[in-house]
Amino acid sequence: MRLPLELEIGLRYTRSKRRKTVGKRDGFLSFISGISTAGIALGVASLIVVLSVMNGFQKEVRDRMLSVLSHVEIVSPDGLSNWEPLALKVANQPHVIGVAPMVSSQGLLSRDSAMRGVSIRGVSPTEEGKVSDLPKQFVAGSINDLQPGSFGVALGAQLANMMGAHVGDRVNLIVPESDLTPAGAMPRMRTLQVVGVVDSGHYEFDSSLVIMHWKDAAALLRLQDPSGLRVKVDNMQRAPEVAIELSQALPPQLWITDWSRSNRNWFAAVQTEKKMMFIILTLIIAVAAFNLVSTLVMTVNEKQADIAILRTMGASPGLVQRIFLVQGLAIGLMGSLAGVGLGLLIALNIDVIVPTIEALFRVRFLPRDVYFISELPSDVHFSDVLTVGLMAFGLSVLATIYPSRRAAQVQPAEALRYE
């Protein structure tokens, strides 16, 4: 079956090679067509890889944060008196699958000459597993070692390393509450025994988290009850909706927040970075599209004699225009498909590619003490791949309009005058 004339000629121009019987410029035109295709492919691949890494970074950090944080927190500044009935009421709300008491505060941890500001979290060892993955993250000791009255403490892995503390060692914890002494108000300090070490994989938490039984934390802060409740829902994306429903069902003096609001600045920053990277890397594809314009313009100039012959044989300006549209669209389609394939290949294997590069050049792209995570993640979204591919092809379509119109306006008499 014979292809339509415009399709056959357009594809022939795309893959033309140097021929001895015809000039010496066809090989060059084929070369720049390949460069145009490669430029579009590299732009598409770069954008897919960057967007996948940004998605993976956001997902990895979010999941690690939520392995320690709760989906929803209900807090009372003065403590939750008679908190058991309140917890039962919250547990009976739609989409809620776990509720646990908590005490939250800030403090200062010291051991010998080392001193660090820390985040104090009081938990219930028997209930914490319902709202977080904290019990599974103990790399030394166990959450069940946090017994009320023993004033045992579990430290984040990085914090324990900074303090030089191991299971069985003693550390001093200073809390904001003060004791009145003959010398005046003095900060409350308590000596605690390290009974566990927690590694969540999130540097910010691992370098600042101090975990105690909630009753011990409440005693340090002079509270009779937990300061709040930690709530887990069946779908973390429902957390804002559940928080609103809880605010309507519970007393108004309670502070209710969800994970998206408590970390709003971080997630907003990631979304802004993703949008800016999309815009910046789109310029690479735009440059490749401009390169496609120059390629087609050069092709039109070199093929004026061919165009004139086609016109004298009865070809209409529309047919000539479609020939060069086919050439431009073929380059754009090949570049887009090659870029999508290359981008997916890199994005899906980035967990192998990056460690190999780090090992070869002895570099570290994501130091644990600087970034939230130390491995480069990737999460490919089909919507991103489709958007990038269609955008690249769309720019290619726009790039072919001017050269193809210029080809259609070639006058046979002028083109053949000096032939």
Note whether 58 and 76 are same-domain residues: no
Note whether 248 and 365 are same-domain residues: no
pLDDT at 2 over 70: no
CA angle, 389 then 391 then 393, to 5°? 70
Name the residue with tokens 């809390």.
Answer: 175
What's the average model confidence in pLDDT over 322-351? Answer: 92
Note whether 141 and 88 are same-domain residues: yes
Note whether 249 and 102 are same-domain residues: yes
Predicted confidence (pLDDT) per residue in 338-350, tens digit = 999 999 999 999 9
- Which tokens is 175 given? 């809390």
Note whether 75 and 36 are same-domain residues: no
Across 72-81, 170-179, 320-329, the highest mean pLDDT is recorded for: 320-329
Residue 389 is predicted with a pLDDT of 94
Note whether 245 and 279 are same-domain residues: no
What's the average model confidence in pLDDT over 389-416? Answer: 87
What's the average model confidence in pLDDT over 189-203? Answer: 90
- Which tokens is 97 given? 């699958």
Name the residue with tokens 């006058």.
Answer: 411
Predicted confidence (pLDDT) per residue in 51-105, tens digit = 999 898 888 878 878 888 889 999 987 778 888 999 999 999 999 999 999 999 8
pLDDT bucket at 369, cuts 50 / 70 / 90: low
Note whether 153 and 110 are same-domain residues: yes
Residue where one domain finishes, among candidates 220, 243, 259: 259
Note whether 255 and 323 are same-domain residues: no
Contact 348, 342 (CB under 8 A): no
Question: Mean pLDDT across the chain, nearest whole number?
Answer: 85
Residue 414 is predicted with a pLDDT of 73
- Which tokens is 81 given? 């008196």
**pTM, whole model, 2 decimals?**
0.74
What's the average model confidence in pLDDT over 389-406? Answer: 92
Predicted confidence (pLDDT) per residue in 199-226, tens digit = 988 888 889 999 999 999 998 888 888 9
Q: Look up the domain containing 52 and give its range.
A: 5-63+267-416
Q: Are strands 184-198 and 152-156 parallel, antiparallel or unpaired?
A: parallel
pLDDT bucket at 9, cuts 50 / 70 / 90: confident
Predicted confidence (pLDDT) per residue in 241-259, tens digit = 999 999 888 888 889 999 8
Residue where one domain finishes, among candidates 259, 282, 304: 259
Residue 377 is predicted with a pLDDT of 85
Instruction: Quote the CA–CA distance of 78 and 217 in Å, as a whole number.
Output: 14
Lowest mean pLDDT among 315-324, 343-352, 391-400: 315-324
Helix/strand/coil (H/E/C) assignment for every residue in 303-330 = CHHHHHHHHHCCCCHHHHHHHHHHHHHH
Cα-based torsion angle of the residue sequence 56, 58, 61, 63 in order, rounded to the nearest 10 degrees: -80
Note whether 59 and 76 are same-domain residues: no
Note whether 173 and 199 are same-domain residues: yes
Note whether 89 and 219 are same-domain residues: yes
Residue where one domain finishes, among candidates 229, 259, 289: 259
Total domains, the chain: 2
Note whether 87 and 223 are same-domain residues: yes
- Which tokens is 318 given? 């529309």
